[in-house]
A and B are shown apart, each in its own frame.
Chain A
Amino acid sequence: MDSAILFAAVVRWVHILAGITWIGLLYYFNFVQATAFAASPQDAKSRQINFVTLVPRALLFFRWSALITFLFGLTLLLSYGNPGNIIRGYNVSSEGLTILIGALLGTLMMLNVWGIIWPNQKRMIAANQAQLDGGQAPPEYGKWARRAFLASRTNTMFSIPMLFFMVAAPHIPAFAH
């Protein structure tokens, strides 16, 4: 097999694998964890324990899979038009332009993860740990939670057109002409 074809195939595979991990965890946070934490009858201490044990582990995979998805996607984007890449180039083909919309959505989502969600969640984890150690919740806690929530929900909303445009390019005839 041609090394360029093998390279593009491996990069695409890692991009999709990391992307599934990222979006899977995004949907877990938004559709499972948020509602489960709100609905569970547990006391504040149990919730704090969950926040310092479960959330950091999930966020570890979440943020790094977001970055890996972005970096491998960028590698694919830069190799458009090269041998082994099925997309002919965003500047010369409609499928390239279609994927570019998905790529912009994905890039903004990655920036939301590293620039807003993770910094605010990190502060919230530290605040929960401090409360478990006998301290008080800082007054900014609600602000941090709200920011992380809005950015996370924006990502959930963006993920729907992002996945459509990523998949539409090679598979929907109306976009791949």
Chain B
Amino acid sequence: MKLPIEGMMSTVITGLVLTAIFALIANVVNGGWWIDLILVLVIWLIMFGLLRKPTPPKS
């Protein structure tokens, strides 16, 4: 499966979607800032999971 961060445009789109989600959570949910901080850490940890098995993408 190809990751969203494999492509240039899909990386930008993923970044924009993340921005919208984080901004919405921070504004709408009570204590949303802390949820955002946890989400950021979770995404970073997912990246480490990907790095442990750095299989090249199928061409």
**Measuring CB to CB, which residues of chain A are less than 8 angstroms from any residue of chain B?**
30-31, 34-35, 94, 97-98, 100-101, 104-105, 108, 112, 116, 142-143, 146-147, 150-151, 153-154, 156-161, 164-165, 168, 174-175
Contact = CB atoms under 8 A, between A and B. Distances in A.
Interface in B10-57: 11-12, 14-16, 18-19, 22-23, 26-27, 33, 36-37, 40-41, 44, 47, 50-51, 54-56
B30 to A, nearest CB: 12
A143 B55 CA distance: 8
Interface size, B (range): 20 to 34
Contacts of A143: 54
Contacts of B5: 150, 153-154, 156-157
Contacts of B37: 100-101, 104
B24 to A, nearest CB: 11
5 contacts: A146-B55, A154-B44, A158-B40, A160-B12, A160-B16
A104 B40 contact: yes
A159 B16 CA distance: 10
